[in-house]
A and B are shown apart, each in its own frame.
Chain A
Amino acid sequence: MNLSKKRRAFLNSALALISTLLIPVKGYARWDETAYNEVDIADSIRSIGIRNPGELRDASKNIELSLPEIAENGAIVPIKILSKIPKTERIFVFAEKNPQPLVSDYIFTSDVEPFVASRIKMGETAFVHVIVLADGIFYRTARQVKVTIGGCGEE
């Protein structure tokens, strides 16, 4: 091997190393301001990447959704979600009649269970929609919560 070949080999491996270092380690989607600012439930659902609501598969049996039937205080509505759909990547929560329906989204890796529990605010009686993204496919389930006292103008 002559010198120029050696030099080229060294340069190639050096370039390969540099390009490896430049690739980001983990690519989480960022907080999507546009999606969170949508005011209509249909636009809100579209904004997470669903072009046609018809592509949403019903998964009420594979998504365990716990919500109270009646919430006396809309400022604190407990919600618990467990996805039994393999390769669950993400869970989105929408409160249909809130001023901005998209409430939260959770991005999972294989190092955490596809489960989450939290507390949300609801302005009035409405459906809560849960959309699960698993292996590139969107699934949904929904449940109505009757709200006695709305929680958006409150604490």
Chain B
Amino acid sequence: MDKTVRFRVRLKDNIADVKIMIFHPMETGYRKNKHTAEMIPKHFIHTVKISHNGKSIMQVHWSRSVSKNPYLNFRVPNAVSGDELSIAWDDNMGESGSGTATIS
């Protein structure tokens, strides 16, 4: 487990409203380093896998056009207190990260 993912989960009427933020530069490859004038290489998350109590429920594909420190909001029905939500991401440079939250 790492600290790249931050969760905010609200449970209402058995629907979990899940908001996550992933700390990631999401570089487009079109930006210049102000000091060296060199182009900053593209660096972005392309896949996010989401599961509920270990069962895969959703898959996300992103590009360089998703904002820095990506925010994602989704809704999980049939959720109860104590359920586990987890996400795992992969980027174009072979880096990855994950996070888990327990619904309170």
Interface residues of A (CB under 8 A from B): 26, 28, 30-32, 36, 75-77, 80, 95, 98-100, 102-109, 111-113, 115-122, 151-155
Contact between chains at B65 and A104 (CB < 8 Å):
yes
The residue of chain A having its C-beta at the shortest distance from the C-beta of B55 within the complex is A111
Contact between chains at B28 and A152 (CB < 8 Å):
yes
Contact between chains at B15 and A111 (CB < 8 Å):
no
Give the A-B pair count, Cβ closer than 8 A: 109
> Which parts of B35-80 form the interface with A (CB within 8 Å)?
46-47, 50, 52, 55-68, 70-78
A2 to chain B, nearest CB (A): 45
Q: Looking at chain B's contact residues, is the secondary structure mostly helix, strand, loop, or mixed?
A: strand
- In this complex, the interface size class of chain B, counting residues with CB under 8 Å from chain A, is 20 to 34
B85 to chain A, nearest CB (A): 11
Q: Looking at chain A's contact residues, is the secondary structure mostly helix, strand, loop, or mixed?
A: loop
Q: Does B31 contact A (CB under 8 A)?
A: yes
Contact between chains at A98 and B65 (CB < 8 Å):
yes
Contacts of B70 in A (CB 8 A): 118-119
Contact between chains at A103 and B63 (CB < 8 Å):
yes
A113-B63 contact in complex given A118-B71, A119-B70, A154-B31, C-beta closer than 8 Å? no
B56 to chain A, nearest CB (A): 5
Contacts of B15 in A (CB 8 A): 113
- Beyond the given A112-B58, A117-B74, A118-B70, please list 7 additional residue pairs across the A-B interface where CB-CB is below 8 A: A103-B62, A108-B58, A112-B57, A116-B73, A117-B73, A118-B66, A119-B67
Contacts of B71 in A (CB 8 A): 117-119
Contact between chains at A113 and B76 (CB < 8 Å):
yes
A111-B66 contact in complex given A117-B72, A117-B73, C-beta closer than 8 Å? no
B45 to chain A, nearest CB (A): 10
Contact between chains at A99 and B75 (CB < 8 Å):
no
Contact between chains at A112 and B59 (CB < 8 Å):
no
Contact between chains at A109 and B72 (CB < 8 Å):
no
Contact of B76 among A102, A111, A119, A122 (CB under 8 A): A111
Contact between chains at B65 and A109 (CB < 8 Å):
no
Contact between chains at B60 and A106 (CB < 8 Å):
yes
Contacts of B31 in A (CB 8 A): 153-155
The 15 sampled A-B contact pairs (Cβ below 8 Å) are: A31-B61, A98-B65, A104-B66, A106-B59, A106-B60, A107-B60, A109-B56, A111-B76, A112-B58, A112-B74, A116-B60, A116-B72, A152-B30, A152-B65, A155-B68
